[in-house]
Amino acid sequence: MGYVALIPLLPALAFAILTPMSRKARTRAVPLALCAALGSLALSVAAFVSVWPGGHAEEPVWQAGVTLAHVGERAVSLGFQLEPVNALMLLVVTVVGTAVQVYSLGYMHREDRIGWYYAVLSLFTAAMLALVLSDNFLGLFMAWEVMGLCSYLLIGFWHEQEGPRLASIKAFLTTKVGDLGFMLALAVIYAEVGSFDFAAVLHAHTWAPAAATAVALLLLFGAMGKSAQVPLHVWLPDAMAGPTPASALIHAATMVAAGVFLVVRAYPIFEASDTALMWTLGVGLVTALAAGLLACVQHDIKKVLAYSTISQLGFMFIALGAGGATAGLYHLVTHAFFKSLLFLGAGVIIHSAHTQDMREMGGLAKHLPVTTAVFGAGALALAGIVPFSGFWSKDEILTVLLHEGHYVGFALALAAAFVTAFYVSRLWFRVFTGPTQQAELHEAHRSMLAPMVVLAAITAGVGFFGPRLGAFLGHDIPWPELSTAAISTGVAGAGIALGWFVYGRSTAVVNTRALKQRYANLYGVLANKYYFDLTYGYFVIGGYSALSRASAAFDSRVVDGVVNGAAAAWRRTAERGWAFDSTIIDGVVNGTAAIVKEAGASLRKIQSGRVRNYQLLVSGAVVLLVVWILVKGA
Amino acid sequence: MDFPLLTVIVFLPLAGAALVALPGNGRPGAARVIAATVAAVDLVLVGWLTLRFDTGAGMQFAEKAAWVPQVGITYHLAVDGMSLAMVALSALLTLLAIVASWKTEKKPAMWFSMLLLLEVGMNGVFVAMDFVLFYVFWELVLVPMYFLIATWGGPRREYAAIKFFLYTLFGSVFMLVGIIALYLQTGTFDILAMAEAGGLAPSFQWWVFAAFFLGFAVKVPVFPLHTWLPDAHVEAPTAASVLLAGILLKMGSYGFLRISLPILPDAARQWSGFLAALAAISIVYGAAVAFAQTDMKKLVAYSSVSHMGFVMLGIASLTPEGLNGAVAVMFSHGVVTGMLFFLVGMVYERTHTRTIAEVSGLSSRVPVAGGLLAFASFASLGLPGLSGFVGEFLSLVGVWSSQIWAGWVVVAAVGVLLAAAYMLWLVQRVVLGGSSPAVETIGDLTKAEIWVLAPLVVLTITVGVYWDSLLRFTDPAVNAVLTLMGGA
């Protein structure tokens, strides 16, 4: 089973080989990255097969590690483990990762830094796979941070432009805020357990409610940063400044889901704390609904998908908070496929239409038949229409809410589902139907369509294997109950119908100005994204900048002022002829005088030879000391 | 008697310093070849020392000879893992500094002579196990550094050099008082013997700790005793900045680890809360001030205040995690900040400016320089997998497990975020974007420059990926310190 370790190592190797190359050589070496991705995919399939048929097990199927450090009596180790949960995740990451890499060949072929793009993509894949395989919290955290780096690099891929540059730093710092929680959680875990290993932390240790709450809430905060949950969601829409296939992989399918995966991993700690579960549920509900509403007012097709991602991640947190870790994981898996599919589709649309603004699109269905078909599968999955994958996993979440008695949560989740269906429908009718607004719309190359077709096939089919998947994970994923399914389908249908009513009825280009004017207040709040960015920009960034400038001024005027002032005061004291040993006074006066004179900008007066006096002073002091000691000792 | 390896490592550069001065400033070629050869031989000797070093054996390679037997002053050298890490860093950075300043035109013989003389003091401080010897090396470091700044520095070099000199001297006077007090109490100058013997009255310890604190805290530097540092860095030539940040600051924290903790354990426990508070303030304050800087070098200088705060935080924890973290930050900061100062110097040589606003788009014009600057920045902000993370993380974990108030840990953790802020903001303005006029016509790093940085890049990755490559040396040493403290 040692080959499992190669799964993250292959792309890591690709990164290590590509990075030191020249730009030209790197471009030629792109196939190497692709081979690494394919290799990882093949090995992941092998790993998945070896774990099949899965089921609930106490021990991982395979585990291996190395000692990273010896500290005192403890040893900190890093290692991998394989079990159903991460075998499934391996498959998700490598399938989407390979699809994105194949797609990028076409999408990015005009970029002269395509080699660098593939290098970072490889490093990202390696980190995500290492995160999934990690058998301890420290390794998970380290991979987590490296993914943050890759996300930063890819968002800022076109760093010559201001937008991507600012978006990349915003993403890094906002997620880093969450990471502080993760890091402190690690400190608490270590203080509590003395180890980071899952086996020791999750199974061997009995968590007292107070400690469990602390750790779980800190981890939740970390997960909220990475998974863009309110109020740390602000970076993800801006992250759309990166290349679209990178958005598909990192900011839709995998990295942003790492927060969910973290909570799934640490679930025993969450289960020991009702408070933590309640907060998780709350965060999920707020995010699912709030981000869904924002998706309804975006015009940039990628931003709609970005807010949709935030909202769908919210659904996963709802599941986790309601006690359905498996339902959350299920939705993670289905979402990874259908959302990356939607992003890849959006990439084709953007390339074809030369715009990201949906108001300038329309009638694309006639010109991009394949894209339209596969995008349709993704859209229906997102809206929650049977039999597409999103329907099944979302129903799981709704069922869990009902079974656990979270009726308010159930209602809110339904509302979020309605909103979801509405913005999907809005996007669809804006983009694919209605009058064509551009000339020369071309379908993408086969190499870009093929990965999308694969993802669409998975999206259409995976739902039928729900119960089998549940058994593999060692948990129950039942077929949806007819009543829940009926309600959710009704809600989704209503959302789509409303979308059609607003955007799909007319054959002309839809203008919603009248609607916006009628609900000006509501629209203002949504258009300003609930004022999060403004608040953060003004208070957090503005406040810190001001504080930092004030600190700098304080440092040079007060802290350093005291030093220079003391020197000056010493000089005056000495000048009044107080009775000190003349050597010392001489030395210090000269020195302080020099400082003061310097401040008075008379630079030339000081001779560098003067320092010999000080050295003389020191040597003199040592000699005196030694002599004195000799006398005393004798 | 065995080959006196430590003596040779310490004093070979002294012979080199004299030898370099011989040909005189008129023949720079001879001076730099001699200097580089001596520094390289010294580094090889340190490498040999590292290979022969037994990580399980505590203090080793001891050389002990009577010096002033009447009062028990001995010539006592020895290394443990902590000392070894610092000596290795000192030998490496000295060699790199010599190579990086290969083309020094102003008084070249004197320049290389001073660098080698500096190495004598730096190496000596970390292996001297006798207080008088320690003090001599400690003060010896000041002289060459003074001249390096005052002769080859920027426009305000005289002010900066004297400030550096007097400020440190001010601190070390108190240290001298502490040394005398300890001697009068114990009758020995032997650092190790004193630590072994223990048994000093807690109230006495408290005052001696205070005296040493002033000496060491100025050097580290700890807020609010840090203002000499930015001035010294901004005025100092690149090579001096590298050694100042890379090695000289560590002398202070090394002092805490080698002297204050083992000899004054009760006082250390009493002072730990205060140290942690100052450390946390240094971390956040240094980071905040760094964020506001408009000069690259000053930004890196203030980042040092912030990073050295993590060293002090780890020390204050009095746990194996924290102390290992402290030494790891000391080592990593030497490597990474060395890299940053080298790069800032290389950029300055080309653009003749260090003003952040005037330098932008390095990565499009000079991708190697830009890429390495970004790499060093990420190492500096503590990205896991690179060396900066190891120490910061262990310090935080250690201090959380200790008696220190948890609030300081949270403050320090915020410092990690703030480090990302000032470092990325620097990258944003300097490395990314379109190239500015100052950058428009410059050439990328030369092979020689890449060779200067390459060992530092390798070390950053090696330590970051495999922590034990460093910790296998430091862990036994810090455990010995804690054992001497009576298992705190």
Q: What is the mean pLDDT of residues A444-471?
A: 92
Q: What is the DSSP string of A249-302?
A: IIIIISGGGHHHHHHHHTHHHHHT-HHHHHHHHHHHHHHHHHHHHHHTT--BHH
Task: Answer whether residue B471 shows pLDDT above 90.
Answer: yes
Is the confidence at residue A620, as pLDDT, over 70?
Answer: no
Largest CA distance in chain A: 110
For the residues A512-533, what does the mean pLDDT come to? 86
**Residue B301 is part of which domain span?**
264-488
> Is A69–B468 a contact, with Cβ atoms under 8 angstroms apart?
yes
**pLDDT tens column, B283-307:** 999 999 999 999 999 999 999 999 9
pLDDT for B66 beyond 80: yes
Residues in chain A within 8 Å Cβ distance of B400: 184, 187-188, 190-191
The residue among B311, B320, B372, B324 whose CA lies nearest residue B347 is: B372
Which residues of chain B make contact with A634, given a CB cutoff of 8 A?
70
pLDDT (tens digit, 9 = 90+) per residue, A301-345?
Answer: 999 999 999 999 999 999 999 998 999 999 999 999 999 999 999
Give the lowest-confidence range in A433-447, A551-565, B226-240, B257-271: A433-447
Nearest CB to B146 within list A172, A611, A625: A611
- Mutant choice from B152, B183, B306, B424 vs A, greatest count of A C-beta within 10 A: B424
Q: Shortest CB distance from A552 goes to which of B292, B409, B472?
A: B292
CA proximity to A304, closest of A235, A358, A254, A224: A358
Which residues, including other chains, have CB under 8 Å from residue B1's CB and lie 6 or more apart? none
B412 belongs to a structural domain: yes
pTM: 0.92
Asked if the structure places residue B60 within a domain, the reply is no
Position B303 scores a pLDDT of 96
**Which among A149, A180, A591 has CB closest to B417?**
A180
Residue A568 in tokens: 């000056």
Q: How far is CA B50 from CA A131, B3, B44, B295, B456, in A?
A: 35, 15, 10, 38, 18
Q: In angstroms, what separates the C-alpha of A146 from chain B's closest C-alpha?
A: 7
Please report whether residue B89 resides in a domain. Answer: no
C-beta separation of B298 from B230 below 8 A: yes
Are A176 and B364 an interchain contact pair (Cβ–Cβ within 8 Å)? no
**Cβ distance of A184 and B433 shorter than 8 Å:** no
Closest among B488, B464, B482, B486 to B80, alpha carbons compared: B482
Best of A15, A18, A67, A70 to mutate (most B CBs within 10 Å, chain B) = A70
- In the structure, what pLDDT confidence band is assigned to residue A602 with cuts at 50, 70 and 90? very low
Measured between CA atoms, the residue of chain B closest to residue A186 is B397
Of residues B132, B162, B169, nearest to A594 (C-beta)? B162
Strand segments, DSSP code E, in A351-502 are none
Taking every pair of Cα atoms in chain B, the longest distance, rounded to a whole number of angstroms, is 69
- A64: which 2 tokens? 């291996």
User: Which residue in chain B has the smallest CA separation from A552?
Assistant: B289
Mean pLDDT of all residues in A49-77: 87
Q: Do A165 and B432 touch (CB under 8 A)?
A: yes
Q: For residue B139, tell me if it sits in a domain.
A: no
Distance from CA of B433 to the nearest CA of A (A): 4
Point out the residue among B163, B176, B479 whose CB comes nearest to the CB of A72.
Answer: B479
pLDDT at B68: 87
For residues B236-256, average pLDDT? 95
Take residue B417 and report the two structure tokens written for it.
Answer: 């975020």
pLDDT (average), residues B176-187 = 92
Distance from CA of A221 to the nearest CA of B (A): 14
Closest chain A residue to the Cα of B177, Cα to Cα: A625
Whether the CB-CB separation of A196 and A189 falls below 8 Å is answered with yes
Q: Contact B471/A555, CB-based, under 8 Å?
A: no
Residue B297 falls within a domain, yes or no?
A: yes
Nearest chain A CA: its distance from B287 CA (Å): 8
Domain assignment present for B180? no
pLDDT tens digits for range A376-434: 999 999 999 988 999 999 999 999 999 999 999 999 999 999 999 999 999 999 999 88
* Mean pLDDT on A32-40: 96
Give ∠ CA A325-A327-A329 in degrees, rounded to 5: 70
C-alpha dihedral, A556 to A562 to A565 to A566, nearest 10°: -140
How many structural domains are present in chain B?
A: 1
Region B131-155: what's the mean pLDDT? Answer: 92
* Both structure tokens of A542: 């503005």
Q: Which residues in B lie closer than 8 A to residue A69 (C-beta atoms)?
A: 324, 390, 467-468, 471, 475
ipTM score of the complex?
A: 0.94
For residue B430, being part of any structural domain is answered with: yes
Residues in A closer than 8 angstroms to B71, CB to CB, are: 626, 629-630, 632-633
- Assess if residue B427 is contained within a domain: yes
Q: What is the nearest CA distance from A181 to chain B, expressed in angstroms?
A: 9
Nearest Cα of chain A lies from the Cα of B179 at a distance, in angstroms, of: 11
User: The dihedral of CA A343, A344, A345, A347: what is its sign?
Assistant: positive
| B395 residue type, one letter | S
pLDDT, tens digit, 9 for 90 and up, residues B67-98: 888 888 999 999 999 999 999 999 999 999 99
What's residue A225's pLDDT?
Answer: 95
Q: Given a cut of 60, is residue A543 above it in pLDDT?
A: yes
Q: What is the mean pLDDT of residues A505-528?
A: 82
DSSP state of A109: T
Residue B435 DSSP one-character state: P
Give me A600's structure tokens.
Answer: 């008075």
- Sequential DSSP letters for B227-285: THHHHHHHHS-HHHHHHIIIIIHHHHHHHIIIIIHHHSHHHHHHHHHHHHHHHHHHHHH
* B421 closest CB neighbour out of A145, A173, A179: A173
Alpha-carbon torsion angle A345, A349, A355, A356, nearest 10: -30
Least CB–CB distance from A71: residue in B139, B183, B324: B324
Query: What number is the average pLDDT over the span A91-104?
Result: 96
